[in-house]
């Protein structure tokens, strides 16, 4: 994660708000990890390969714009503990 990624997160946070920017970071990390794992299993990437994080943050931002409220609502509904 470089300086540009931090600036992008700040801009996304100004656009989406604090709750959805946390979702953007989470979805970006998950999608980047899946891409890296897929690349390593197909031998296109190795352990030392550098993958830019920005495209995954952009993808996560688009997902969060369209489905962020639904994803957060689902997460919060699953976190309710019944006593």
Count CA within 13 A, CB hemisphere, residue 27.
Answer: 22
Q: What domain count does the chain have?
A: 1
In eight-state DSSP terms, residue 45 is S
Range of the domain at 64: 3-79
- Taking the model in full, what pTM does it have? 0.86
Strand, helix or coil for residue 17: coil
**Which residues have C-beta within 8 Å of that of residue 45, sequence separation ≥ 6?**
36, 39, 51
Per-residue pLDDT 10s for the chain (83 aa) are: 788 999 999 999 999 999 999 999 999 999 999 999 999 999 999 888 899 999 999 999 999 999 999 999 999 898 876 65
């Amino acid at each position: 994660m470089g300086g540009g990624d931090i600036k992008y997160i700040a801009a996304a946070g100004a656009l989406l708000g604090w709750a959805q920017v946390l979702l953007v970071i989470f979805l970006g990390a998950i999608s980047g990890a899946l891409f890296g794992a897929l690349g390593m299993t197909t031998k296109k990437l190795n352990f030392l390969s550098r993958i830019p994080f920005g495209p995954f943050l952009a993808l996560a931002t688009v997902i969060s714009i369209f489905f962020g409220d639904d994803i957060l609502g689902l997460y919060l509904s699953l976190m309710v503990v019944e006593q």
